[in-house]
Structure 1
Amino acid sequence: MTNQLSPKIPSCTWSRPIGLGWDKPYTVRYASNIDDGPWHGMPLGGFGAGCIGRSSRGDFNLWHIDGGEHTFKNVPACQFSVFESNGTSTQAYALSTQGPNDGALKAWQWYPTLPSTEGTGNYHALYPRSWFVYENIFQAQLTCEQFSPVWAGNYQETSYPVAIFLWNAHNPTNAPITLSIMLTWQNMVGWFTNALKSPEVRVRDDGSPVYEYQPRWGESQGNYNQIVENPQQFGCLLSRVGSDALQEGDGTWCIATLKHPQVEIFYHTRWNAEGTGDEVWQSFAKDGSLSNYIDANPVGEGEQLGAAMALRFTLQPGETLEIPFVLAWDLPITEFAAGVNYYRRYTDFFDRSGNNAWAIASTALQEYQTWRSQIQTWQQPILDREDLPNWFKMALFNELYDLTSGGTLWSAASELDPIGQFAVLECLDYRWYESLDVRLYGSFALLMLFPELEKSVMRAFARAIPQGDDTPRIIGYYMTIKAESPIAVRKVAGATPHDLGAPNEHVWEKTNYTSYQDCNLWKDLGSDFVLQVYRDFLLTGADDVEFLADCWNAIVQTLDYLKTFDLDGDGIPENSGAPDQTFDDWRLQGVSAYCGGLWLAALEAAIAISDLLLTHKLGDLGGLAVQKSIYETWLQQSLPIYQEKLWNGQYYQLDSQSGSDVVMADQLCGQFYARLLDLPDIVPSDRALSALKTVYDACFLKFCNGEFGTANGVRPDGSPENPKATHPLEVWTGINFGLAAFLVQMGMKDEALRLTQAVVQQIYENGLQFRTPEAITAAGTFRASTYLRAMAIWGIYLVIN
């Protein structure tokens, strides 16, 4: 605890008055999609450790504690409260503007909201730090900074299940002020696991497979709380009576603080978290104290259990005190299908017993100042850049929220995976991991900040490509168009899987969970794989040739497989008319600009990889030389065909057979990747520029006057080809950021920033913050929240750099 004036909050945070609602937040496009409403704040917790979210009204409401599962619910007993006395008057508030509406905790006073002319403070967020600045209620100046130890290149603390709440209290008056800060927490041990051990999978109205998730919410029987302390630290440990073998959801939580000669510590280890709250509030509101009641007996069935800890101190005029609180949890197991258990990454640094919440909290209390300075050291060079606008810096960091709250998995290390295996969901509605077409854009953040995690994901894809799974499935898309579905096998050997599986099966081992389309027929996945492998090699120092060698056989298999779709022998695989690529509601026929361009760039990347492996004499040299020659032949044949069939003098046509004149926003993704990877252009640069300018004009400026961002595909005059189409008329956040990176690459930085700003404003001004969706529409609706592709904003930073 140091005596210092109020903390400096960076000028580029996302900021909102505490408790201020939204007049017209975006709402969900399809009723079956998740729409939790706009009250989302920055998540707290390490990668793959589970996380919690606290919104700008002060409530803890997001519980991504069970790997891959989503629970959004305000838990009022989890809360900070402040008591203040200046000798003549006293006041006490729980610091959420939203109290329970079911009569629970009715003894408590909730933080007031005042007319907008005189707010009660502001919430600020710049991931992984956020701040509550309280104003016009207390006489003391109070700020609470929240963060977890996440910073680039850190493969240890970034995995910790811990949140630090750093309180800064300053007395600006000329009389002493007594303050007490209370942290209450509900004992949730045992809640976060699926009570349905074999959840039924069904196809919902949008064609996506979903399964039932029923957490053991509120099942607290056997839970108990106890005081823990050492000479420097004090805490309350939230536990459960042990079973024979540790299971998912078992473990401990802990709230803790540092001891300080100026500060009195009070506690109450057992109170009814869903009663009136009077057991803690009566004494706290009176003088900032608690009764120091200790009862470590387990609660019975139907009972709820809270813990409370309050720190009381007096500030003389002009005095400042900094006080840390820590929340830690140790729930070491993530279970996928029944009996498929993985230990979380942080257990490599603590043990696997589930009894380490106090040890983790204790570590945080020793290290939090170092951790905070590590975060600042990482962020400062970007924050100091005067060539980047503040809104861009804000979105750049805040979009990283998904690495914490995207259902993230990070397993313990093994011999095969020395830093563990990593995965982020495509989104909460499409609940499967690391969709390869989506991460072509969305993985730039992981690549630039945690390159070893990025490579671990690509190794998982390389291992999956040779595998087959003949399980027959119906295809959901046909249900949505009311047609009879063909039966498809789940995974063809040699095909690149779409995803690394879902949290109800066996992630990393059982791939291709989605059944909306038959992903074995997709024409972009194989190319996406090859391009990401070469990108991950090139942009992480170009020295990890072993990584290329690990992936080479899979590259050969997937390019061979993809070439089988070249039915007319012109060198380029054709799209089949079914939506068979990342725009999976959009039918492409024949050679397409999108998939064809990715194919050309992937062939160039494969040639470059074979060259490197030959140079370093890694692998079967004869075989490498043969493959290189094959790819050179395919490329030579394909390049002129792409121009002949698709260039119309102004832009590249959607495809060669549909006759559509639509301008596709992402028509030259292949060319963007070729330039990014220092490969030869796949199209002449003057044509690329002409196409890009056409996209900017038609899909951005002429689509709702550039207010929303770039639509995926409209006619050259900005009108829709089919007003009822879904994907062409949506603005995809990640595709927009990818397009902006291409604009920067081609010398159109001003246009890139204008387009990016339009999208960022839609997200951060309309209640979509910390749940960025895949798609928004001009009607103010969104689809697929908490979407992986939006981290493509780091691709813009990469090319500006």
Structure 2
Amino acid sequence: MSLLVQKPEIPACAWQRSIGKDWEKPYTVRYASNLDDGPDHGMPLGGFGAGCIGRSPTGKFNLWHLDGGNHIFKNLPACQFSVYEQVAGEEAKAYAMATEAPEDGSLDRWQWYPKEKGEYSALYPRSWYEYKDVFKSELICEQFSPVWGGNYQESSYPLAVFDWTVHNPTDKPITLSIMLTWQNSVGWFTNAIKSPTVKLRDDGSPEYEYQPRWGDSTGNFNQWIQDGFRVGCLFNRVQPHEALREGEGQMCIASVSNPSVEVFYHNRWNPSGDGADVWDWFAGNGSLPDIQDETAAEPGEQIAGAICLRFTVRPGKTKKIPFLLAWDLPITEFAQGVTYYRRYTDFYGRNGKNVWSMIRTALKHSDTWRKKIEAWQAPILENPRLPDWLKMSLFNELYLLTQGGTLWTAATENDPVGQFGVCECMDYRWYESLDVRLYGSFGLLMHWPKLEQAVMLAFARAIPTEDPKERVIGYNLSLAPRKVKNATPHDLGAPNEHPWERSNYTAYQDCNLWKDLGSDFVLLVYRDFLLLPDADGEFLGECWPSIVAALDYLKGFDLDNDGIPENSGAPDQTFDDWRLQGISAYCGGLWIAALEAALVMGQYLLENPPQQTDLDAMEIQTAIARYETWLAQARSLYQDTLWNGEYYNLDSQSGSKVVMADQLCGQFYARLLNLPDVVEHHYAEKALAKVYDTCFLKFAHGELGAANGLLPDGSPQNPNDTHPLEVWTGINFGLAAFLIQMGMKEEALKMTETVVNQVYNNGLQFRTPEAITAVGTFRASHYLRAMAIWAVYGLLEGFSNLPIAPADDEVPTSDFY
């Protein structure tokens, strides 16, 4: 804590909104079964896979993703900052720093901060509350977690730093007190239903029961800690089991003391009452009654702790006051008895009693962490070629790596940085959907490449597995085996089973029949090999058997043996409500690009045999010859069958004249990976111009984004269509990257900015959806594919100019482990 501090510089490109400002007409959900928590979402706090807590532009702590893969959106009013101010000779003021009182009538003695008196700003992983026109002091609260590119240690930590900067612009001394209150919620974040029922929702996708132990505080107790200059309230629980279980551990709020501040506390007050037990003291003179009480909560009882720091700021001076929040909930449980330790336990142990060690680490290193975040972001923020809206959305769309039900397990010999996964979204809770991450993985690739490689190795291991047990397919209620041997899985499993071991959780379609997944896998492996700084032949060698299996399996759908697998007439690709028949532009192009990638990889492995992987050179040569034969057939067939003089037909058998926005995804990937073009340049150029005119400019007057598919005059083939008439955020960003690749930079930026504005101007921030519509609705929030915006950056600036800090996970940060 220092008297000689500067006010924080909030980047001009950060997303901003007046604190507590109401949304006039936020977008609402398209289907009643889809998640719609409303627009009060802010940047999440916490590391990858550690669980996260969201604090909104109204000041509420209202999002709780502390149980891996599960979503809780509820305001917990007792979790809050409050500020007391006394200017010499004037009446004191005190406010809890959220703009809405609790709906349940609790804490009615508290005074809540007025709306629109200041600005909330966010540029992940930092956000700021700048309070104005209420206090005489100039107050800014900067909050962040230690997340930055290339880092595989601190980016996993379950903690948040809140740095309060207080400036006195007056000619009188000002006495202030900042209070942090927190409710003991240890034990709440686990599913009370240990064998949840899985049902099909109205859209045909599977959903499992989830009932958190919200409010179950029996046995919780709070401890006041004084450790040198460190002070805090530790939230604990009488451990009901011999061995630690999911949801058990500790939480903590903390700060520091020195001769210039007074520290007060109350470590056991009632958050369900009127709040007078802390507020009357705090609003009276900025103090608390210094109560220490470690009595455990009785059944039905709720308890909370409070800490406040009172200090005086002289005229013209500035003071910084740090607060910390940390949690140590080391276990994630999936199916009953299937547990993993979280990644941060590699650095802090696994007994659930290490939260104070995290506090000590954070107090020592938080300034260094902030500088590393700033250094990581600087190449983009200081780049004059990039517009502010793009800088903002690039970093803010990385929020999902914290908030997306993220898993990051402790390291093992087979997985030296652990296993990693992000849910497709909170509606479709299964991990790393491969068709979605074809675009949506660019953010992970460009900043945490070792985690990207870990995901692709997980898919490589899953391809040869099988699960013949039949289940109901939501699309047509038929029965199909869950996972066919050598079929590329759609996803890596779900939080209620055993991710990585049981894949293909989604059951809306029979993903064993999809015609894009095998190609997606091959292209992503080659992309990661080509673009990752530390990928090598060992990674390629481990993936190669699954590459061969995936392509051979996919070729089995080439029923007429003409070189290209046919779509079946059922939705059998990422646009899984859209029927393609025969050879399709989308899947056929991906197939050709994948075969080219496999040829290059096979040749590399022949010339550079990996040391740790036993591959047969003759088998590789045989596979290469096979792919060359298929390619010779496929190339001319694709062009001759699908080109109509202006664009590529949707497919060869449906007779549809729809202009598909993503028809040349395979061509985009071929050029991205320096492979031979799928189609000649002038054909791609003409088709892309048609897509831009039809799907973007002619749809909603060019004010929404590119629809997935329209007739050449901009009208729908069927006004009741779903996917063709939606604007998919991630597909738009991928299409924009393709436009840049083809020399249409101005058009690409116009389309990207349009979609970004749709998200951030309509209450969809920090819950970016898959789809938006022309009538102000959305579907599938918290969606993985939107991180495709990093492909736009990659094509603008070159993938060799990544703002990745050197990997520093080998440097220990904790002095107390």
Q: TM-score, normalised by structure 2?
A: 0.96
Shift, 1:358, TM fit:
1.1
| Equivalent-residue separation in structure 2 for 1:147 and 1:109 (angstroms) | 26
Q: How does 1:334-349 map to 2 (within 5 A)?
A: 334-349=332-347
Q: Partner of 1:163: helix, strand, or coil?
A: strand
Shift, 1:541, TM fit:
3.1
Q: Equivalent residue for 1:387?
A: 385
Q: Equivalent residue for 2:92?
A: 90
**From 715, 726, 741, the counterpart of 2:711:** 715
Shift, 1:4, TM fit:
1.7
Q: Partner of 2:344: helix, strand, or coil?
A: helix
The letter of the residue matching 2:588 is G
Matching of residue 614 in structure 1 with residue 614 in structure 2: no
Q: Equivalent residue for 1:417?
A: 415
Q: Partner of 2:192: helix, strand, or coil?
A: coil
Q: How does 1:685-700 map to 2 (within 5 A)?
A: 685-700=681-696
| Equivalent-residue separation in structure 2 for 1:102 and 1:720 (angstroms) | 47
Q: Partner of 2:475: helix, strand, or coil?
A: helix
Q: Equivalent residue for 2:595?
A: 603
Q: Deviations over 1:721-770 (max 9, x none)?
A: 10000000000000000000000000001000000001000000000000
Q: Deviations over 1:35-93 (max 9, x none)?
A: 00000000000000000001101000000000000000000000000000012210100
The letter of the residue matching 1:556 is V
Q: Equivalent residue for 1:265?
A: 263
Q: Equivalent residue for 2:272?
A: 274
Matching of residue 33 in structure 1 with residue 58 in structure 2: no
| Equivalent-residue separation in structure 1 for 2:535 and 2:227 (angstroms) | 47
Q: Deviations over 1:427-452 (max 9, x none)?
A: 00001000000000000000010000
The letter of the residue matching 1:572 is I
| Equivalent-residue separation in structure 2 for 1:795 and 1:512 (angstroms) | 27
| Equivalent-residue separation in structure 1 for 2:447 and 2:535 (angstroms) | 17
Q: Deviations over 1:770-795 (max 9, x none)?
A: 00000000000000000000000001
| Equivalent-residue separation in structure 2 for 1:102 and 1:528 (angstroms) | 49
Shift, 1:636, TM fit:
1.1
Shift, 1:487, TM fit:
1.0
Q: Equivalent residue for 1:482?
A: none
Contact 2:442 2:791 in 1 (8 A): yes
The letter of the residue matching 1:110 is W
Q: Equivalent residue for 1:129?
A: 126
| Equivalent-residue separation in structure 2 for 1:340 and 1:623 (angstroms) | 38
**From 631, 641, 644, the counterpart of 1:635:** 631
Q: Equivalent residue for 2:807?
A: none
The letter of the residue matching 2:25 is K
Q: Equivalent residue for 1:571?
A: 563
Q: How does 1:124-273 map to 2 (within 5 A)?
A: 124-242=121-239, 243-273=241-271
| Equivalent-residue separation in structure 2 for 1:541 and 1:792 (angstroms) | 20
Shift, 1:232, TM fit:
2.4
| Equivalent-residue separation in structure 2 for 1:512 and 1:77 (angstroms) | 41
Q: Deviations over 1:308-331 (max 9, x none)?
A: 000000011011101110000000
Q: How does 1:398-437 map to 2 (within 5 A)?
A: 398-437=396-435
**What 5-or-longer segments of structure 2 have no aligned partner?**
798-817
**What 5-or-longer segments of structure 1 have no aligned partner?**
114-118, 479-484
Q: Deviations over 1:650-709 (max 9, x none)?
A: 110000001111000000000000000000111000000000000000000000111000
Over aligned residue pairs, what C-alpha RMSD do you find?
0.7
Q: Partner of 1:399: helix, strand, or coil?
A: helix
The letter of the residue matching 2:339 is N
Matching of residue 110 in structure 1 with residue 112 in structure 2: yes
Q: Deviations over 1:265-294 (max 9, x none)?
A: 100000001111111001100000000000
Q: Equivalent residue for 1:319?
A: 317
Q: Equivalent residue for 1:790?
A: 786
| Equivalent-residue separation in structure 1 for 2:483 and 2:312 (angstroms) | 66
The letter of the residue matching 1:310 is C
**From 531, 539, 547, the counterpart of 1:555:** 547
Contact 2:528 2:535 in 1 (8 A): no
- Give the stretch that moved more between structures: 573-582 or 102-111: 102-111
Shift, 1:617, TM fit:
2.5
**From 650, 657, 660, the counterpart of 2:656:** 660
Matching of residue 522 in structure 1 with residue 514 in structure 2: yes
The letter of the residue matching 1:251 is G
Shift, 1:575, TM fit:
0.1
Q: How does 1:500-539 map to 2 (within 5 A)?
A: 500-539=492-531
The letter of the residue matching 1:528 is D
| Equivalent-residue separation in structure 1 for 2:664 and 2:219 (angstroms) | 59
Q: Partner of 1:349: helix, strand, or coil?
A: helix
**From 729, 754, 775, the counterpart of 1:758:** 754
| Equivalent-residue separation in structure 1 for 2:105 and 2:665 (angstroms) | 55
Q: Cα–Cα, structure 1 residues 442 and 543, in superposed 2: closer, same or farther, change >3 Å?
A: closer
Q: Partner of 1:496: helix, strand, or coil?
A: coil
The letter of the residue matching 2:705 is G
| Equivalent-residue separation in structure 2 for 1:763 and 1:103 (angstroms) | 33
Shift, 1:543, TM fit:
5.1
| Equivalent-residue separation in structure 2 for 1:784 and 1:543 (angstroms) | 33
Q: Equivalent residue for 1:747?
A: 743
Q: Equivalent residue for 1:474?
A: 472
| Equivalent-residue separation in structure 2 for 1:26 and 1:446 (angstroms) | 28
The letter of the residue matching 2:81 is F
Contact 2:409 2:419 in 1 (8 A): yes
The letter of the residue matching 1:95 is M
Shift, 1:178, TM fit:
0.2
| Equivalent-residue separation in structure 1 for 2:79 and 2:486 (angstroms) | 50
| Equivalent-residue separation in structure 2 for 1:746 and 1:471 (angstroms) | 46
Shift, 1:486, TM fit:
2.1
Q: Partner of 2:756: helix, strand, or coil?
A: helix
| Equivalent-residue separation in structure 2 for 1:621 and 1:602 (angstroms) | 20
Shift, 1:5, TM fit:
2.7
Q: Equivalent residue for 1:487?
A: 479
Contact 2:537 2:609 in 1 (8 A): no
The letter of the residue matching 2:716 is P
Q: Equivalent residue for 1:650?
A: 646
Q: Partner of 1:476: helix, strand, or coil?
A: coil
Q: Deviations over 1:204-224 (max 9, x none)?
A: 111010011000000001000
Q: Equivalent residue for 2:75?
A: 74
| Equivalent-residue separation in structure 2 for 1:758 and 1:616 (angstroms) | 46
| Equivalent-residue separation in structure 2 for 1:187 and 1:279 (angstroms) | 16
| Equivalent-residue separation in structure 2 for 1:244 and 1:495 (angstroms) | 42
Q: TM-score, normalised by structure 1?
A: 0.98
| Equivalent-residue separation in structure 2 for 1:515 and 1:101 (angstroms) | 38
| Equivalent-residue separation in structure 2 for 1:419 and 1:263 (angstroms) | 42
